Amino acid sequence: MKEIHFVSADEAVRCVKSGDHIHLSSVASVPHILIEALCRRADAGEVEDLHFHHFHTEGPAPYSEPRYAGIFFDQGFFIGPNVRANVNAGYADYLPVHLGESQKLYRSGALACDVAMVQVSLPDENGMVSLGTSVDCSIAAIEVATHAIGVVNPNVPFAYGDLVSLDRFEFLVSDDTPLVTKDFAEPTPTEVLIGKNCAELVPDGACIQMGIGALPNALAAQLVNHKNLGVHTEMFADGILRLIKKGVVNGANKKVDKGQVVASFLLGSSDVYNFIDHNPAVLMKDIKYTNDPWVIAQNPLMMAINSATEVDLTGQISADSIGTRIFSGTGGQLDFVKGAIMSEGGKSVTAFASRTNKGKNKIVSFLNPGAGVVTPRADAHWIVTEYGAVDLYGKSLQERARLLISIAHPDDREMLDREAFERFGPHWHYVK
């Protein structure tokens, strides 16, 4: 392997010119050292009209802030808390895309990628580096970018799966800043009930996909007595790690990547990051692979477990917005919904609390005006709240409404029944 030549972050970002589109590695592995260097160039009046693209990012996000209006413009594929207010104020923007297709935006040329800025692990003996906790669509960005900048960070785990040669990078910067970690709150009693209701739908030998946060951790806690589970997911966190360490997750029943956990990006404690380091039982792959419904469907008993901001009485699932207010993004929800539906014995599950923390019902007669439909009603199958689980597949609109009302908050059921009567007419009460 040839000797690595490092440059400073300020030198590396000199390749950025006004009007460029910049890709950032995301979630826990944002290259903050390069962003800070770009801010210095912006403060000096050297660049303007820079467009940023990324998944959900953790940490400071100056590329979305009002003080850089006209200089930086954020157009993320998924909106996290650090940019949410600025997106909804118009200082930043959301670019709707199924995450499985985010890589296609770059590879097809539909979206420019002039500069790729990513964090990578220390190289192996062959000069290959891992993107660690944030493979996502960064492989595609590196492939097509005019300039690729790699931040070599010893805290980035060397994860097997899709690797990149150091030779692909025009500039290499050294940094030893720890990756962002996330500790999630213990599940509430409501989340525990939802976890139990979901767990009852998961058979032994199933392959699971779920996200991060208190609710997925609540579900994971209810799966401790299951056997031979597999994992093929967009991302995972500490809840899945606990199942792996208990031997509940072993991938024995998987037909694709048997015995291995497959993901594309991670956010959790340092235990999760340490676990994937040089661990052949984990594959961190291009989002093109992890989110391909045809790949997902090859594993039998695929369980796609996702969430929602609202579900209307016909089964339309909103998950990216609350009315016109962008909350997150389309994500990979429909990628996995489709894959699970096609899987032999698979199930698509949408799980959420019947009410928000402020007491607003989430099973509604009509979605809030402007809300985005992430999963169409034709693809809505199992819906789970703390009050039970219902399967909408093969059910008419009125049958769906009756089922959904049965798992709404008890104090909301009379209102929903009245609104269903107004929608469907006097024959509504004959529907059983």
Structure tokens at 111: 């979206």
Query: Which residues are 23's β-sheet partners?
Result: 53, 116
What pLDDT score does 431 carry?
59
Give per-residue pLDDT as tens, 72-82.
Answer: 999 999 999 99
Q: What is the pLDDT of residue 183?
A: 83
Residue 426 has what pLDDT? 79
State the catalytic residue, choosing from 234, 310, 344, 414: 234
Q: Is residue 126 packed enough to be buried (19+ CB in 10 Å), middle (13-18) or exposed (0-12)? A: exposed
Could you report the per-residue pLDDT of 253-292, keeping only the tens digit for each?
A: 999 999 999 999 999 999 999 999 999 999 999 999 999 9
Check: pTM over 0.85? Answer yes or no. Answer: yes
Residue 430, pLDDT > 80, answer no
8 A C-beta contact, residue 180 and residue 201: no
Q: What is the pLDDT of residue 324?
A: 95
The CA distance from 45 to 49, in Å, is 11
Cβ atoms 383, 389 nearer than 8 A: yes
What pLDDT does residue 386 have? 98
Tens of pLDDT, residues 339-350 = 999 999 999 999
CB atoms under 10 Å from CB of 160, counted, come to 17
Distance CA 333, CA 319 (A): 9
Does position 5 have pLDDT exceeding 60, yes or no? Answer: yes
The β-bridge relationship of strands 163-165 and 128-130 is antiparallel
* Per-residue pLDDT at 241: 94
Q: Which of 1-5, 182-186, 236-240, 406-410 has the lowest mean pLDDT?
A: 1-5
Q: 1 pLDDT exceeds 60?
A: no
Asked whether the predicted pLDDT for residue 432 surpasses 70, the reply is no
Q: Are 168 and 148 in contact (CB under 8 A)?
A: yes
| 425: pLDDT strictly greater than 80 | yes
Active-site residue, 200 included: no
Reported as a single tens digit per residue, the pLDDT across 18-67 is 999 999 999 999 999 999 999 999 999 999 999 999 999 999 999 999 99
What span, in angstroms and rounded, lies between the C-alpha atoms of 118 and 131?
Answer: 8
C-alpha to C-alpha distances, 25 to 76, 200, 213, 251, 266, nearest whole angstrom: 11, 37, 21, 28, 12
